Structures are given as C-alpha cells and as structure tokens.
Structure 1
C-alpha cells in the first residue's frame, strides 16, 4: 500500500511539475526562440526545437514554452543556444489516431512540447536574446558536443550506416532513412537503434576488459592493487559519459542504472547480476519519470531484462544441480573449442528467445506487429554488433580528442553495412508481421504471466500457465472494429470482407492509414473511385460523387462521409453511419432516425473513433479515443474552434481590415470566441502554404 501511494504521489508531482502549456488551435505567428536541438532529416530539411522567447503578429497570450518546427533551410552552422526568428505554422499535438493507440499529446506534455509545425519562411538569426539559465547552458553544451561527434562520424561513414553510427554513439536518429527503419522493424532489429542494455553492457565490457588487459602488462601493480575495482570505476565513468551522449532515453537510463549498480556491486564485492539491480533501476526511473511506465520503451526494456536475468538464474540453478552428480570430464583442446562454440550459439539462441518472447506481447500491443524472423536476424547480427560495431565505437570516441577516430569508425561502418545487408535480405523474405489489435486484457494477463514466471524460483512458475491460457483466449475472442475515423473528420477507413482497408480519400495520411492497416491486419489499401452519374455504392471501395463518399457494409447499411457545408438533414435516411466534416452542424439534426452521426465537433472533443457493427442486429457501437473529464495533456482541446462548434477562420479582405472581424455564431451553450488579433488561440496573420 505504501509503494502504491508513493507511486501515485510521484505521478501527481511529475504532472504538476511539468504543467506544459499546449497550443489550443492551429495558428501562424512569428516566433523568436532559442535553439535547443538541431536535427538533420533524411529529406534534407532540418527540424528545430525552440524555447519560445516571444511571438508577434499575432502575439499569443497563451504561447507554448517550447515548440518543434521543420524548416527547408536554416542558417549555416546553426548551433544549440543561438536565437532564431521566423514565421511558423504551429499546431497542437494530435491525440491517438484510434482508441488505444499512441497518444502524441501525452508524450508531448511530458516532453515539454507545446506545439509542432513548420516554418512558412526560413528562419534567420536574431541576436543573442536573454542570458539562459545554467541548466540550459549545460544542455546546450551537451547538444553541441553531440552534433560535433555526429558530424565527425558522417565524415567517415557515409549514407545510412553513418546515420546509424551517429545514433549509436551520439543518440542522433533523425537522419536514418525510413526504408532502413522499416527493415529493422520487420526483422526485430529496431532495438539496435536505441542505446539500450546491449550497447551499454558492450561499452562497459569493452572499457573494463581494456583496462584489465592494460593492467596485466604491469604484474607488480596488479599484484598490489585491486585492478578489477579500478577497471570497474573507469567503466562506470565511461558509461556515464556514454549516457550523457545518448540523451534522455528510457532504455539508456535503465541500462546505465543497471550497469552502474552492477559495477558498484563489484566495487563493494557484491553479486553483480541480480533481479535486485533491475528493481533498483526501475524504482529510480519510476520516481523520477513515472509517466514512462505507460510507454513501450520502459515496458519492453524491463521485460527483456527481467526475462534474461530469470533465464540465467534458472540455467545456473540447473547447472549447479547437474554438476553434483556428474564427475568432471577431461576434453581435448579441439573438443573444448567445439564445446565453447556450441555453448556460445546456444546462449545466443536462448537470449534471443527469452528477450523476444518477453517483449513480443508489448510490441504487438503498441505496434500491432511481431517479427517472425527476429531469431534469425539477432543470431546473424549479434556477433557483428559485439565484434565489429560496439568495440570500435568505444575506441572511436576515446580517440576523437586526438583526431584518430577514422580507422575504428571505418571498421564500425563495415560492420554496420553487414548488419544492414542482413536486415534487408531477411526483411524481403519476412512473412506478414501484422497481428491486429491486441486487447488490453490480453496485455494484462500476459504481463501477469511474465511477472510470475520471472519473479518465482520454484515450481510456482507453473502458475503462469493459466494466465498465458487466459490471455490467449482473450486475444482469440477479440472484436476488431469495422470503421476507423480520424479526429479531424476527414479520413474514414472501412475493413472490407476481402481483408482490405477502403479509405475515402485519394491521398490519405500515410501514418494514420498504416496504423489502421496494422490494427485491421489489412495490408492492402483501397482508394476511392470518383464516379459520375453512378448511384450504386460498392462494398469493396468508396464511391465519391461531388465530394460525398459512400460505401456499403456487408452487415447492412452504408457509410457516408460529407464535406463541409452539406445539409445533414438531406442525408439522414441515406446511411447507417454519417461522418460530416463540419463543426457547425448539430449531430442531433437526424433525431428520430437510427443513424450514427459524427460531426467534426464531436471528434474534436472526443478524439478519433472506431465503430463496430454487430453481425446479428447490425447496430453500430462507437468508441472514442478520449473521455471526459480531460486529463491535463488534453485540456487544450477545449479551446479549438472545432471543439466550440465554430467554422474555420477566414481572413478578412484587405479593404475590410478596418471593420470588426465577422464572428461565426456558435451553437447554443458554446462561448463566443474573442477576436483573432487578441485571442491566445488566434488564427493565421500570414497566408498558409
């Protein structure tokens, strides 16, 4: 009970401490801000994270403290800490693209990001600005160091391999091509891009092994002093520097804490590898950043580590029992080498199976995908990572102050080329990896089974089997939605009988549709047909006539999307589900009918939606992504024009600039909006692109 209360208090304290101000509505404004982060993207554009110093034209009364915006071009040699100015189209972070999926607003709130967007005009330098605090100056120095290291890496290792090397050493990941990211995801090698336990352990082992080998050259010194402890202390300092370069990542923090506890245990002659160390790392992270417990990084990282520690403990226990009754045998040198190779391969297989099994349920829940060939991929690449990638990376960082990093970086680049070649070859031959929506009950039951299996050391482990069986039953009996509706009311997707996903737009948002496709286990996307004089709506794709798109559903009725300005009452009897891209209409206009009507205002208030149609009665059931009362990271949604039932803002003509702006009358019960020139959620004063 005490632990639960401390956890709840920690979560509340973090939520109140962050209190991130988030923009309410999209707006174009001139932003003057201090550069926090400069990220070079694959597309050639640059993404800037800015601490907002001021806004103008219009001045925002409720301006966010930090924003992230993309620019086509930035000033030469722009560094963190400099001040830039530019006109930016800012937008609030979106909610989940479907109920239960990743919530961008949640992550943005705890990252301190109040808006995202893009520059309408390239930013320019704007003087020095006010003096930053010491903590900001320290963070800027670290970012400059990371950028310098990344530039040195790219100068030696070109292309995708250089970007991955920059990610592994300096934590800079923005420039990795999406095709490479996808290959790594399909093959289950995406964990390589995250500075996790594997990288931190290899770095610590490389430093500690190198130090002990150096001390071995001086037998007199090694005989008098505890060189193992000295090497452990140096490894602790080296991994701390590695964490500084890696940035604030859950996997990196967890890995460093684990390695730090293990190395500290060596300093005090304690057991280095135990479940205690994992618990200490988890408690520290949950006390400092408790919101991470909701993310896939925390869950997958700790699940894999717990499974590996439990598996190693079980194997060690079995080995000690078997040795009691088996006398030692003498082997020839060749037999010893062969036995060592067999044990090494078996250990790699066991490690991949344990870690992959422990993390697969979390990956399936968060990303609706598994990696069928992850075992082969990890077996093929782990020797490459352990020999040709991480040791040269550590050596390159150590030699960078001397300017001698080129040779180890070349070896690292060769290893990365081999790894990417394996990943691409396996990705092309990997079967379908989408598993569809995983219910929260399935995740809970499998997590309980994992906890019981990892944290018990006797036959009590068998208690995990009923939970595994129950979790499998809930997954088999899941109910997959038939319709997916975006929170802006513009995009609709329908799962067809042929196993495809039909959408109502010819150019749908790629990220949203990919998420929906994985959730529906539908790899084929069917775009609409623009009809002329055709009245019969098909059942395998949308038919769009005058921007009104319709599709028939196999369980009865049709689904219709209406554009802004259409008369909703005229279509009340035409479809079972109507989605209208208009916030000013009343969804109760079809009162008395059995239709489900979702307006832009409904979706702006409650977020994206899914609809499940009962196979027997044909009755649709709606589920929204958000619920009232809003959590702190969703409060900004109340101030959007759409959530208040107002039409999109339209700029007044120049000859009417002296006249008061025309106000759109909101529905009853909705407060009127202040003039755009003074409202904190005002509208663009500059033309949209």
Structure 2
C-alpha cells in the first residue's frame, strides 16, 4: 500500500498528489459519503451476508483505520475510504440483526391486546394505533410481533378525539392482521424492510370498538405529556388549525385530515408539517437570539460571561426538550443531531454552520440509524443543508448587500437553493412536480419563522401559568395563513404534475454529481456535471415495465399507448395507486381499468410487448380454466392445478417471487421479481407466513 503511487505512471501520480494537496482541510465532509456507500452496498446485496462476514467488515475497518496514520497521504486516504465503506456495511448489517423481531407467521383474525405507544393516521385517513407488549389469541409468544399497527375503521365516533385511547393504556379489540407487505413492484419501496427496522411485525385493521383493558402502569410519561399538550392545543384552536398547531408542537398528526395534508404536499409545503430541520432551526434560532438579546441588557451583560455560549446552552436545552416532547421520530432526531453539533461548535469556539458540522451530523445519524440513508427525509434534509452551507459560504463577502435587503435575499435564495437541492429526491420518491412550490414557500415560510414558531415557544413558556391562550391564538393566525396559501395554490390549474419514477442508477448518479460540485475544491468540481447529465439522461430514457403483477395475483397492469391499463377497477388499491404514480400517470384506478381492452368481452386479456396475458380471479375462474386458453402468460389470484405450457403466476409462484415486472429485453420480455432467490432478513418471516 505504501508503494501504491509507484504503480502509477509518473504523471498520473504527480497529478494525484497535486489534487490531494488542493483538498487539504476539505476532506472530512467526504467521510459520511463513504460510510453511506457501505450502507448502500449492504441494502443492495442480493443475499444476506452471514454475521461472520459482518464482523469481518468491522474488524477490517478497524485495522485499516489503525494502519492509515502510518502510510503516505494517498494510500492513507484510500485505507480510510475503504475502512469507512466496510464500517458502513458492518453497521447496516449489525443494525438489521439488532432490531430483529418476530413477524406474524400467518394472516390472523381475532382478539388483539397491547399497550398503546403511538397514535396517528393511516393513508386512508383512519386513526391508527401502534401497540407493543402484544398478545394474540392462539399465537405463541415466540411468534407474536413485538409491535403492530392497526387502523380503526367502521365506527365514526372513534374519530372523535376524546375517544382515542391514551398512550400507555392497554387496549383490547378484534381485528384482522397480516404480515407487513413487500414492494408492490420490483425495485419499489419495501414496506416490509421499513417495518423490520421499526420492529413492526404485523399491520391490519379493526371495525370493532376499542375496549380499555388496563390503565397505564408507569412509563410512557413523555408520550402521555405529548398527547395531553396536543389535546390542550386543539381545544384552544379547534379544527384543522389546532390540528396543525398540535402537529407542530408535539408531532401528533392524528387530528389532521388527509385533505389538508394533500394540499400541503401539492404545494411543496409538507415539510412544514414534519418536525425536522426547519422547525428545530427556527426554534433554536429564536431561543438563541432571544437569550443573547436578553444578556446584552445591563446588568446581565456585566455579570455574566460569554453571552454567546450561554445562549447556545439555552438553545440546546430547548432543542432537547423539543426532541422529547415531539416524540423523537427519525426526522426529529436527525434535526436535533444537526442542531446539537452546530451549537456544540459555538461552545468550543468553532464556526457553527460549516460542512464539517453537517458531515459530523450525518455520521452520527448514519451510525445510529443506517437505514435512514434510504429514506427521503435523510436525503432531502442533508442535500438542502449541504447546498445552503456551500452557497451561503461562497457568497460571504462576495457581494455588497445593504442590510435592509439581506433578510429578503436570504429568504429567496435559501428557498431557491433548498428547492433545487431537494428536487431530484422529492421527484424520485413522490413522483409529483409542484409547479408553484417555490412561490408557496416564499409566501408561507416567513409566517412559520416570524409568527408560528416564536408564538409556539412563547405558549410553551406561558403554559404552566395558564397564560398561553393569546400566544396560541397568534400562532393560529400564522398557521391559518399557511393553510390558506396551501389550499389556494393547490387548487390552481396545473399546480401539480406527475413524473415517471427513476431507475435504480439515477439517484446515485445525481448524488455523486451534486457532491462533486459542492464538496470538491477547485475547477475539478465541474466534473460533477458529467454524472448529473448521465443521471438526467438515464431518467429521461428509462422505460417502465411492460407488465406488472401484484404480489397477490389479484391485479395486473399492462402498459399501452395510452398509459397503464389495469385489469380491475377495484381491489389492490394500494398497488394500483403506486403503479400509476410511478408511471407518472394521473387518474384513478377505475380510469386506468377503462384502458383495458374492451373488445375481448369479460375475459381479462391484453397484449404486453406482443405477449398475450390472461388474468383470472377467484377459485371458480381458476378451476374452469383449461390449459392456458391461448395465452402466453396466465396470472391467477387462486392456485392453478396441474402443469401448463405457458408461464404461470399464481399464489404458489408469487409466494416465492413477490410482485413481478416484465420489461423489454434483447430476447423479449425479461422477468424481474421483488424478492431475491436467497431472502434477506426482513423477507424470511414473510416466506414462512405464506
């Protein structure tokens, strides 16, 4: 390793040393990049590495880190980079084993008992409970999930806030549960993997009333305080405004309707709802500024030491309290870590807003929750923060700006930079283009920063004295303005456009290009334009699957000249919704079903890239089917008996493959499956359950 440069041509070695010296003092921000690369490798592996291999990765990372200081510059950096990749791979694998918990072995209907540890809303706008210490009738303890989620349907009165079970209470209900589902198409979002890291082993619904089994027996006091504060806020501010205020102050979104959330999403204002970097930054900035201003007033200014450090400590205390009170979800933890790193930099006399601080925060987040790398929250948060730090750092002192114009310029520039930096990730994950999102943010964010957050802090301070009413009313005015902006702009014609989901190599390519542009020093950074152009080209030229088959076999989607045609107007609604979103196709499932060929009568037949597909549903149609009935591919929601000359996808086959996609290939249609032949940790319980 020490003689690595001798293996390179003399000119190449000299250029490498020159480039390396130009980056001195700017290399630490690349550490989370290589750590994330290792984490990404783990999740991209087609098979689950053995624990011994994960241990070997950890040992190898430690050895490389020990060897690196004894080597020349370039070999040392290579050792550190490889060590970080190995460390990321080991961390992700270790975390996957650490959170292992049982998955429900079979579909279940019956009595459910557990302790309430979370209350929110499902995508169908139903109240949803998260339970732990679960008991299921007839299910052995070893097979009982550690946690499960159950949505409450059927009884409209359960939508009333007063009837929602309190955190810590043990409840009993009757419901239907299923193991967490996998991707609805190969390469799509894997809810089963997401649930694995949340230790959720079953999801389902109940149409029966919830019965209180036992009152809280200690513990859960923070969660109970959250819900009590949420209830108090919503009593002071009824309706959607109060629900928005409660979500902002406590993270409790159970009072918000889907129409409001959809309006925020369509105008690119959904980030105002999630307690993340913006809220944590506004909170700590308000506390920091207020305390500093207070300490400048005599006699405090004469008797206290560094007002800046005291203000930083006060802001850190406020951020810690907000972390606990808001529920401490992953996004809030990530925001707290970033703020804590920056405030800590102030305490040790370093620049708070720097790429080193951002990189350190990313390292901490990835070290604690490696799976966060795959989520849009992590990607968008750090993309925006990195871009903002770089852009404002480059502008420092570059332009003579009058003091009165600085806040306006900062608002416009920060909104534009954050929008550009997060756009690829937002488009890739949500498949929506908010055409007026920048305008909505310019109109709404000032109300959040100047009114809503300061009044929320003031209300929290005055709450113990019963004087929070005026502050909450003023906060409500700011939130009312934000919701008015969201509803007005979202109703405009063409406010939202759809975009096709990118292929697997698009986001890595765009990310690499963006990192080179932002982190590399000197003219070499412009090399980042090459992977960006490559990513854009791959996205533009990518093709959606010619045929999609749901994991249950109950829905088939065929790509036609007019868009995706679905075999059924109802049923498998979640899969249909995701398919159409990924296709960039507007409209409902019923409208997509109307595109299915009608000339073939009641038979669900269609052509996919010249291949005839037949879809049969139900045991009666499956039993009546003779052979393949002239089709090349037969999809059935019931098991087909006997052997057939065509390609068959029925529940027995789909149990092994998961959802299926067929794409154009050199030799015809190429088959892709959602599950690999060797299951990952989060897939093993699911295969036993079917």
Structure 1 residue 262 corresponds to structure 2 residue 342: yes
Whole-Å separation in 2 of the counterparts to 1:413 and 1:365: 33
> 1:371-382 counterparts in 2 under 5 A?
371-382=434-445
Corresponding position of 1:358: 421
| Cα deviation, residue 126, structure 1 | 2.4
Corresponding position of 1:251: 331
Corresponding position of 1:279: 359
Whole-Å separation in 2 of the counterparts to 1:379 and 1:541: 46
Which range is displaced more, 442-451 or 265-274? 265-274
Q: Is the 8 A contact 2:110 2:137 kept in 1?
A: yes
Structure 1 residue 145 corresponds to structure 2 residue 225: yes
Deviation digits for residues 313-337 of structure 1 (CA, Å, limit 9, x no counterpart): 1112xx35x67xxxxxxxxxxxx9x
Corresponding position of 1:454: 518
Whole-Å separation in 2 of the counterparts to 1:366 and 1:598: 28
Deviation digits for residues 240-286 of structure 1 (CA, Å, limit 9, x no counterpart): 10111222333322221121122222222221110111111111111
Larger helix proportion, structure 1 or 2?
2
Q: Is the 8 A contact 1:368 1:438 kept in 2?
A: no
Deviation digits for residues 80-101 of structure 1 (CA, Å, limit 9, x no counterpart): 2222223231111111111222
Structure 1 residue 27 corresponds to structure 2 residue 108: yes
Whole-Å separation in 2 of the counterparts to 1:431 and 1:205: 33
Corresponding position of 2:670: 621
Distance change in 2, residues 1:78/1:425 (3 Å): closer
Which range is displaced more, 513-522 or 199-208? 513-522
1:382 is paired with a residue of what secondary structure? helix
Deviation digits for residues 404-445 of structure 1 (CA, Å, limit 9, x no counterpart): 221111111111111111112221224442110201211111
Correspondence for 2:636 among 572, 577, 580: 580
Distance change in 2, residues 1:180/1:495 (3 Å): farther
Distance change in 2, residues 1:485/1:359 (3 Å): same
| Cα deviation, residue 351, structure 1 | 1.3
Corresponding position of 1:660: none
Corresponding position of 1:550: 605
Corresponding position of 1:563: 617
Whole-Å separation in 2 of the counterparts to 1:583 and 1:528: 29
Distance change in 2, residues 1:470/1:289 (3 Å): same
Correspondence for 2:651 among 600, 624, 637: 600
Q: Is the 8 A contact 1:498 1:540 kept in 2?
A: no
Which range is displaced more, 573-582 or 162-171? 573-582
Length-normalised TM-score, structure 2: 0.81
Whole-Å separation in 2 of the counterparts to 1:432 and 1:171: 27
Structure 1 residue 56 corresponds to structure 2 residue 110: no
Whole-Å separation in 2 of the counterparts to 1:166 and 1:529: 38
Q: Is the 8 A contact 1:314 1:457 kept in 2?
A: no
Which range is displaced more, 271-280 or 489-498? 489-498
Whole-Å separation in 2 of the counterparts to 1:529 and 1:201: 44
Whole-Å separation in 2 of the counterparts to 1:249 and 1:628: 34
Corresponding position of 1:396: 459
Whole-Å separation in 2 of the counterparts to 1:27 and 1:569: 30
Corresponding position of 2:213: 126
Corresponding position of 1:502: 565
Whole-Å separation in 1 of the counterparts to 2:167 and 2:301: 45
Whole-Å separation in 2 of the counterparts to 1:518 and 1:599: 25
Corresponding position of 1:488: 552
| Cα deviation, residue 211, structure 1 | 1.7
> 1:631-646 counterparts in 2 under 5 A?
631-641=680-690
Which structure 1 segments of 5+ residues have no match?
Answer: 132-136, 324-335, 531-537, 642-689
2:229 is paired with a residue of what secondary structure? helix
Corresponding position of 1:14: 95
Structure 1 residue 80 corresponds to structure 2 residue 167: yes
| Cα deviation, residue 45, structure 1 | 5.1
Corresponding position of 2:586: 523
Deviation digits for residues 113-172 of structure 1 (CA, Å, limit 9, x no counterpart): 11111235323222469x7xxxxx54x111101101110111122222222211111011
Corresponding position of 2:471: 408
Distance change in 2, residues 1:398/1:40 (3 Å): farther
Corresponding position of 2:182: 95
Length-normalised TM-score, structure 1: 0.81
| Cα deviation, residue 355, structure 1 | 1.3
| Cα deviation, residue 542, structure 1 | 5.3
Which range is displaced more, 571-580 or 267-276? 571-580
> 1:330-349 counterparts in 2 under 5 A?
339-349=402-412
Distance change in 2, residues 1:167/1:544 (3 Å): farther
Q: Is the 8 A contact 2:567 2:596 kept in 1?
A: no
Corresponding position of 1:110: 197
Distance change in 2, residues 1:230/1:544 (3 Å): farther
Corresponding position of 1:189: 269
Distance change in 2, residues 1:156/1:41 (3 Å): farther
1:590 is paired with a residue of what secondary structure? coil
CA RMSD of aligned residues (A): 2.7
Deviation digits for residues 540-578 of structure 1 (CA, Å, limit 9, x no counterpart): 5457866x422345x434332112332486252422332
Q: Is the 8 A contact 1:89 1:118 kept in 2?
A: yes
Q: Is the 8 A contact 1:393 1:412 kept in 2?
A: yes
1:579 is paired with a residue of what secondary structure? strand
Distance change in 2, residues 1:60/1:219 (3 Å): closer
1:78 is paired with a residue of what secondary structure? coil
Q: Is the 8 A contact 1:29 1:57 kept in 2?
A: no
Q: State how many pairs are aligned.
A: 600
Q: Is the 8 A contact 1:503 1:542 kept in 2?
A: no
Corresponding position of 2:660: 609
**Which structure ranks higher in relative contact order (CA pairs < 8 Å, sequence separation ≥ 6)?**
1
Q: Is the 8 A contact 2:565 2:595 kept in 1?
A: no
Distance change in 2, residues 1:482/1:217 (3 Å): same
